[in-house]
Chains A and B, each alone.
Chain A
């Protein structure tokens, strides 16, 4: 990366003086180089820019508002219905296979201590929390 110590200080002063002279509307300089830079500055102060479309701010705000709006009633109702179906399915599964599941868990529990199982639960929770925080940080990193 280029650093400013490479700059020709005299030339830099000419450029900056031209900027000030043009801002102040000063009379043309006797130095030809200064006047050349004033012309450059004049062009730079009047760049060819596309105009901002009329109503741009309102349109963007409307779009941001729509994307941040809470889900509508139909969406909320569908979410609740889906949760209900899942809950019924879970209850059905427990009713059908609950007995055999308990036996399996009991057999597995003999091999692995309860403390080890609790430790695994804590480790998984910690890992999930860490992952969520990292994701949040990376989202902030544009």
Chain B
């Protein structure tokens, strides 16, 4: 898996080059962080045109405010914060709930998990994974985005917390609930098809 963000040591040189208006410097910065930006926005917005527009808006903001960036956080975290903020405002304007309503008690999720059944005897894994993708799409935007950053990009919980502004405990809780819910849905699906 390719790393989500380039080495932090390169950030200063990259920022200095952009501020000095070196040819191709900003394009390099976009190329280095477009994956992070895309993942955050795509997983929250789930609309190709909006994702492209909002990613573009994110990098234009980054370009405009780069002179004020003071390296207080990693460049990737800072860009991630801008991307998250842009996507969050977009969803708020559309009145889309950012997190699942009533996301508070983990026990109600665990109650829906079956005690035991033979997964090996169930449908083929590929079909189950496809079904799980549909369940993932049905999750709330923030949970979907956190799951992708954690699982696909291997972003540490502390960095996800820095990007989103949620406490680390909440990030952990969102991960836990979403995965337990997906497991419960998986078992319900297998149970219903057998």
A115 CB–B CB distance under 8 Å? no
Q: Are A40 and B132 in contact, CB atoms less than 8 angstroms apart? A: yes
- Please tell me which one of the listed residues A1, A39, A61, A140 contacts residue B186 in the complex, with CB atoms under 8 A apart: A39
Majority secondary structure, A binding face: helix
Contact with B along A1-18 (1 / 0, CB 8 A): 111111110011001000
B68 CB–A CB distance under 8 Å? yes
B133 CB–A CB distance under 8 Å? yes
Contact with A along B160-194 (1 / 0, CB 8 A): 00000011111011111101101100110000000
B151 CB–A CB distance under 8 Å? yes
- Residues on B with C-beta less than 8 A from A42 are 125, 129
A52 CB–B CB distance under 8 Å? yes
- Please tell me which one of the listed residues A1, A36, A142 contacts residue B170 in the complex, with CB atoms under 8 A apart: A1
Interface residue tally for chain A (C-beta within 8 Å): 45
Q: Are B151 and A45 in contact, CB atoms less than 8 angstroms apart? A: yes
B12 CB–A CB distance under 8 Å? no
Provide the bound-state CA to CA distance between A67 and B59, in Å. Answer: 12
Q: Are A39 and B170 in contact, CB atoms less than 8 angstroms apart? A: no
Q: Are A57 and B179 in contact, CB atoms less than 8 angstroms apart? A: no
Q: Are A2 and B56 in contact, CB atoms less than 8 angstroms apart? A: no
- Residues on A with C-beta less than 8 A from B86 are 142
- Residues on B with C-beta less than 8 A from A48 are 133, 136-137
Q: Are A12 and B136 in contact, CB atoms less than 8 angstroms apart? A: no
Distance to closest chain B CB from A6 (angstroms)? 5
Q: Are B186 and A2 in contact, CB atoms less than 8 angstroms apart? A: no
B147 CB–A CB distance under 8 Å? yes
A56 CB–B CB distance under 8 Å? yes
Distance to closest chain A CB from B150 (angstroms)? 8
- Residues on B with C-beta less than 8 A from A41 are 151, 179
Q: Are A1 and B61 in contact, CB atoms less than 8 angstroms apart? A: no
Distance to closest chain A CB from B171 (angstroms)? 9
Provide the bound-state CA to CA distance between A139 and B61, in Å. Answer: 10
Distance to closest chain B CB from A81 (angstroms)? 28
B52 CB–A CB distance under 8 Å? yes
A95 CB–B CB distance under 8 Å? no
Distance to closest chain A CB from B126 (angstroms)? 10
Known: A39-B186, A47-B43. A57 touches B34 (CB 8 A): yes
Contact with B along A76-111 (1 / 0, CB 8 A): 000000000000000000000000000000000000
Provide the bound-state CA to CA distance between A114 and B133, in Å. Answer: 76
Provide the bound-state CA to CA distance between A41 and B14, in Å. Answer: 35
Q: Are B183 and A3 in contact, CB atoms less than 8 angstroms apart? A: no
Provide the bound-state CA to CA distance between A92 and B60, in Å. Answer: 44
From B3-11, B90-98, B111-119, the one touching the partner chain is: B111-119
User: Which B94-124 residues have C-beta < 8 A from chain A?
Assistant: 103-107, 110, 113, 116-120
Provide the bound-state CA to CA distance between A36 and B42, in Å. Answer: 26
Q: Are B173 and A140 in contact, CB atoms less than 8 angstroms apart? A: no
Which 4 pairs, one residue from A and one from B, show the smallest C-beta to C-beta distance? A43-B132, A4-B169, A61-B27, A57-B30
